[in-house]
Structure formats: C-alpha cells, structure tokens
Amino acid sequence: MTSYPNLDRNSDPKPPSLHRLESGLRFQGLVSKLLLLACFWPACCLRLFAHDPGLSTATIQLKRTTLEAVIVPAVADAAQIVRLDTDGDGQISKDELLAGASKLKEKAADALEVTFDEKLVPAQEIRCEFDELKNATVYLKYPAKSYSKLEIRSKWMAILPPGHRQFLTLKDADDSVIAERLLAANMDTVTVEPDIAKTETATRNGTSFVDFLLMGIRHIWTGYDHLLFLFGLLLVTRNFASAVKIITCFTIAHSITLAVATLSLVHVSSRIVEPLIAASIVYVGVENLFRGDDPKGRWILTFAFGLIHGFGFASVLRELGVGANGGSIGVPLVSFNLGVEIGQIVIAGLILPVIWKLRANPWFLRRWVPVGSVAVTLLGSYWFVQRVWF
C-alpha cells in the first residue's frame, strides 16, 4: 500500500518562493494596467481630441491721432461670440461666414475698451471679415491724443472659454513695441504710462518669457497626440542611453521646424501637418508590433517625425501672431520651445522608471508592450480619420 503524506486541507503545497513569484507577477500586472490607464485615460476623457489651444492675437498701433487695432480669432473662437452655424449641420459655409462677419461687426464695438487718462473713447471705424483659413479679422480705429495713462482692456476675454489666451502687442507709429502681454480672462488689461516706459520695456521680455514658457509646458501636457507619439517611442526603450537618444533626436528635429515655421521661412498647412502627426503615431505603434523590442535605427525615424511635430508646435505661435506682428520673435520662440522640452522631460521622467521596472517581468514584454502598441495604433488611426475627413 502506498502511503501519502498527511496534508491538512488548509495547507498549501506550493513553496514560499512560488507564492512570492505569483504575488509579484500579479502586482506587476496591476501596475501595467494602471500605467496604460494613466497614459490613455486623459485622451478618452477629452473625447479623444488633441490639443485645442484657444488662441487669438490683437495687434494695436498707436499713431499721433488714431489708435488702430487688428484682432484675429480663429473661427471656433468667433463662434463663441456670434452664432456661425445657423443651420445646425455642423459645417460653416461661405454664406454663413459672410453673415457671421456682419454679426461679428456688431459685437466688435465691445471687443476693446480704450481709455486715455480715464476717459473712454468709442471706436470710429469697424470692419470685419473671414479669410480663406476661416480666421476672423476685426479692424478697429479709435481717436487718440496725448496722454499720461493709456489703458486697453480686451473685453472679449470674458465671453471666450476660460482657457483662451490672447497675445496683445502694442506698437507706436514707428512700429517699435511698447508693450506685449499674454492676456487671459483674469488678466485682460494692458496699462501704459509714458513716465515708466523704460521700465515697461525692460520688464516685458521677462514677462513674455515666463508666459511663453508656461504655454509651452501646457501645450505639451495637453497635446495628447504628441504625448502618445513619445509614449510609443519610449515603450520599447531598453535603457537610459536609448531613451536619451530618442528624446534628443525628437527635440532637435521639432526645434528646427518650429523655428523655420515661426520665422515664416517654410509654411505647411495644418490640414497637412495634423494628419501627418496622427500618421506618425500609427507608424510607431505598428513598428513596435512588427520590429519588437528597441528596434535599431529608431533615432532616424524619431528625427524624421520630429520635423513634422515641430510644424504642429509652430501653429500655436503662428495663431498668436508671433513672427507676423513686427514684435520680438526670439523670446517667444526660445521660451515656448524650452517649455515644450521641460514638459516632455517631466513626462518621460515619470513614465520611464515605471516602464524599466516592468521590463524585468517577461510578461510585460510579451503581453503589455503589444497591448500598449495596439492602443497607440488605434488612437493614432482615430485622429488620422478625424483630421482627414472631419
């Protein structure tokens, strides 16, 4: 007769080392799921839309007898002020834009509040039109006189969405910049006093630097298409050196095109750039699936696609009128790009340690890297379809 060991029903024949291994695998699997959820949840919460900065520009020139202002909001922002899609079909036709220009002209009298020495002056001339890119252009002319205090308030900031920003540039008759401000709903006024003009000139670059630095950080943190592209690249990096090479190539590439586009040396329509950005995301996700772990020559791919993403970054500065308003280009360009770099380094610093920790588990490479790559591909495909056909 064969004898069996007397085992308690509640006893567990598995050795303690196996228990520890199973617990570790379960924990790492949970962390993997949380990592993927953290990466993709923001995009899902925002209905899978990419960044929408909500930007406009106001260029104001102070002459001897007049103050002339040009305000340029995007069509989406103009639609917050007057109803443009009158038939409710989700599209804005040329006829609707023409009618919208007339409605916007009626509202334009309240776009700015201009006071010379606490005395309000009304607009003498108002014009409004939409261009081929569906940007609205509002022209305003006010009487001007000598003053000890000039105050300009952008009243439309109160009715535009809370995240909207307006880059206001005030110039004199010689096109010299008197003041530059990045306005928001809670900071909608520019005040100029000739007695402190030197102080204003000395401080505005510092103020603009911080404004554009923070805008660059916010742009990359809310630019889910750029972040998803970066995540797809970093998902298959093995070590610190590989990650540094990827991030450096991406940085150099998008810095080049950001500069040349902002300086108007090269212009590529957003109707081309935005679908290409989505296509770059799809390509990275598919390459992760077919070429496997840390594919060779990834830096070349990163550099090439980084050039495309740079044109996307440049659209923010172009919408603010940087490079086209006669004001300073260097400070906005450098500080915005630096903000983008800080933002992406922070994101990489949070994601990479978790990815490298999980790489110690073979299941992560076999299961979760493909799952993450499929998710990258699907989201990129969604954006591509949205940007091409909608």
pLDDT, residue 305, reads 93
pLDDT tens digits, residue range 136-151? 889 999 999 888 889 9
Quick one: 248 exposed, middle or buried, by C-beta within 10 A (0-12, 13-18, 19+)? Answer: middle
C-beta atoms surrounding 207 within 10 Å:
15
User: Which residue has 């401000």 as its token pair?
Assistant: 181
Sign of CA dihedral 328, 329, 335, 339: positive
Cα–Cα distance for residue pair 93/100, rounded to 1 Å = 10
Selection from 240, 228, 258 nearest residue 340 by Cα:
258
pLDDT tens digits, residue range 206-224? 557 787 888 888 888 888 8
Selection from 310, 336, 73 nearest residue 208 by Cα:
336
Confidence grade of residue 322 (pLDDT, cut at 50, 70, 90): low
* DSSP H helical ranges for the chain: 16-45, 75-81, 94-108, 197-222, 224-234, 240-262, 270-291, 298-319, 330-358, 362-363, 369-389
Cα–Cα distance for residue pair 232/371, rounded to 1 Å = 11
Sign of CA dihedral 86, 88, 89, 91: positive
C-beta atoms surrounding 223 within 10 Å:
24
pLDDT tens digits, residue range 327-362? 567 777 888 889 999 999 999 999 999 988 888 888
Rounded to 10°, the helix 298-319/240-262 angle is 40
130 has a pLDDT exceeding 80? yes
Say if strands 55-62 and 66-73 run parallel, antiparallel, or are unpaired.
antiparallel
Name the more confident of 189 and 294: 189
Per-residue burial over 110-141, b if 16 or more Cβ lie within 10 Å, else e, is ebbebbbeeeeeebeebebebeeeebbebbbe
249 has a pLDDT exceeding 50? yes
Confidence grade of residue 376 (pLDDT, cut at 50, 70, 90): very high
